[in-house]
Chains A and B, each alone.
Chain A
Amino acid sequence: MDAGKVKFFPRREMLDLVVADGQARGIVARNMVTGALETYQGHAVVLATGGYGNTWYLSTMAKASNATAVWRAYKRGACFGNPCFAQIHPTCIPQSGAYQSKLTLMSESLRNDGRIWVPKKKGDTRPPQDIPENERDYYLERLYPSFGNLVPRDVASRRAKEMCDNGYGVGPTKLAVYLDFGDAIKRNGRHWIEEKYGNLFDMYHEITNEDPYRLPMRIYPAIHYTMGGLWVDYNLMSNVPGLYVIGEANFSDHGANRLGASALMQGLADGYFILPYTIGDYLATETFQSLKETDEPFQRTTKDVTERIGRLLSVRGKTPADDFHRELGKVMWDNVGMGRNKKGLEAALKEIPKIRNAFWKDVKVVGTADSLNSELERAGRVADFLELSELIARDALHRQESCGGHFRVESQTEEGEAKRDDRNFTYVAAWEYAGDGKVPKLHKEPLKFDYVKPSQRSYK
């Protein structure tokens, strides 16, 4: 940027993709200070707009993180890959009340030294320090003797939920398990823990008002990352020529189950090692019609965006957009969360359109289109979450196997582990928009493994 090669436009939100002659040629963005719609024309478009974890409302994602850019691109023809693959992180600070706006992650590294446990007795209300060693169930160590507390995120998350569902949860909401550093502090001393995790311990203390040096932390799983995203090829281009998608916004690299730290790896790989080499080929070999921002494709798309904003402002209902988002989040977490089954997914597919209809009848967006209006921004994003969520549920329903972060209750081993079905599901599900109210079209991209063979995971 300092060299003048890249220009930065802060406080702009992309609200649509401009497709001309079948190629992605620009975007329509809203100036979030003046409200003006601006068009930007180019020979290709690169989206790096992040994941869609906030579809579930409560997640570890930043509050402004949203799916509008990818969803608008989807509605302009880009396929959405594996939308149901979302990662649920096991070590988040549990929700403490209905007012809560987001969840805070405690770093994964804590599981190196912390031991996870619940009381052996159901509904035990004693404070943790009064529960003797032999009445504690270190369930991950018991179930997975060789991996113990270091099992992958999906397994640790699911087991925590299972413990709580079965009545062993702890803390005021009973939706938490302990992450205990007592042994580590005894073994290495408080100073050693401070050096290693001091910041995290302070953060936990601030949020919960409990001192984790004295009492075990309480943790619970939360939505953290979305492996699904816009479908791209090996050059990171979507099926819309000239539309590139990088980072968490695309579906690539992580399959159904991202491993720790690999999201930043993907950021580097996509943005530094791949895209600079692949996009040049597209620019050099394609032919482009000359196009101005006053031309029809830009005018048409700007008109669509204007109408949509007008629609949001004209509902003039009674309920803030956030209320609909919370309601959606609950449906998603209960039915399209850690353990998914046919009944729940079908219920979600009924509930979501109901919330969406209620939104378009009753949402209240105060303020105007031509000024800084965070409510308008929020409402537009919630409207998109209310559509994307349906695709997520649909994809989860269609994938009848358990696979990575996607756990279908009907597809498990006798020991309650995820059971894959490679015969029927060794493919990427790429969904193509078919029009509002229509069932999207499913494309299956077969997965071919030359060197490794997919097999049942075991952490025993």
Chain B
Amino acid sequence: MNFTLKIWRQKSREAEGGFKTYAVKDIPPDASFLELLDVLNADLIRKGEEPIAFDHDCREGICGSCGLVINGRSHGPHKGAATCEQRMRNFRDGEEITVEPWRAKPFPILKDLVVDRTAFDRIMLAGGYVSVRTGGAPDANAIPIPKPVADEAMDAAACIGCGACVAACKNASAMLFVAAKVSQLALLPQGQAERVERAERMIAQMDAEGFGACSNTYACEAECPKKISVTHIARLNREFIRAKLI
């Protein structure tokens, strides 16, 4: 397959960026989107040009580092898949594809398609954990958790912190991310001890980082590679109100 790629190039955080157009040829349909970039980069290196910088690690949709805006969509057109899981067979042969980094103030561009997502780390630091000292392992059956509850917690835990929700949102809101993290722990017994502070502190940090508010357009759910539901945002709101009342 052949493609024309319009890719955002930007030398550094401070530099001004712009689109550059590249042609790539003979890409196997089974190649992933990142493998397409690999092929282009190998060409660029051979020509002595700087390859396109992009983040990636696991290349199987579990680490959350590879997010790109492809044709205006976070992680590209194929639903429920991260950029590394997009296969070229889901594009048209000869298609012109636009590739941009996540665009949101709290995610400054470091170079080309690489953005700084440490804002998410700081939100996690504000309460996205359980700090109980475990001691000896308790009996696994001592605290029964109904399957629907466990399933819902697992659905929230599927969040890979990639930032697609922020990139998809016109307000650059991080509500779906924060909701997934708060919801997962609010549903499980381990999360109860710090439940109140967690909701308050993570939301305060989210605001401090400059993420926008949620205006219920659900673009985040539509673009989430892990198909995380906005019902978790509803739970986050409940957790926040509950924290204010307790």
Residues of A participating in the B interface, judged by any CB pair closer than 8 Å: 1-2, 8, 10, 33, 62-65, 96-97, 99-102, 104-105, 202-203, 206-209, 318-320, 322-323, 364, 366-367, 371-375
Contacts and interface: CB of A to CB of B under 8 A. Distances in A.
B50 A367 contact: yes
Interface of A: prevailing SS? loop
Given A101-B34, A366-B50, A63 B81 contact: no
Contacts of A320: 41-42, 45-46
Contact of A62 (B34, B58, B125): B58
Nearest to B114: A372
B57 interface: yes
B98 to A, nearest CB: 22
Interface in B14-67: 27-28, 30-32, 34-35, 38-39, 41-42, 44-46, 48-51, 53, 56-61, 63
Central interface residue in A65, A101, A364, by most chain B CB within 10 Å: A101
29 contacts: A2-B125, A2-B127, A8-B121, A10-B118, A10-B121, A33-B116, A62-B57, A62-B58, A62-B63, A64-B57, A96-B30, A100-B35, A101-B35, A102-B60, A202-B80, A206-B81, A206-B87, A207-B30, A207-B87, A323-B42, A366-B45, A366-B48, A366-B49, A367-B50, A371-B11, A371-B12, A371-B111, A372-B12, A372-B114
A382 to B, nearest CB: 13
A63 B45 contact: no
B136 to A, nearest CB: 11
A211 to B, nearest CB: 14
A323 B80 CA distance: 32
Dominant SS at the B interface? loop
Contact of A209 (B27, B41, B63, B89): B89
B58 A318 contact: no
Contact of B59 (A63, A99, A323, A364): A63
Nearest 7 CB-CB pairings of A with B: A372-B111, A320-B45, A62-B57, A62-B58, A64-B57, A2-B125, A102-B59
B126 interface: yes
Given A33-B110, A209-B89, A364-B45, A101 B59 contact: yes
Contacts of A104: 59-60
B100 interface: no
Contact of B30 (A97, A364, A374): A97
Given A10-B121, A63-B58, A372 B110 contact: yes
Contacts of B31: 97, 99-100
Nearest to A364: B45
Contacts of A322: 38, 42
A372 B109 CA distance: 12
A206 B30 CA distance: 9
Contacts of A364: 45-46, 48
A63 B60 CA distance: 10
A63 B57 contact: yes
A364 B51 CA distance: 11
Interface string B117-140: 010010001110101000000000
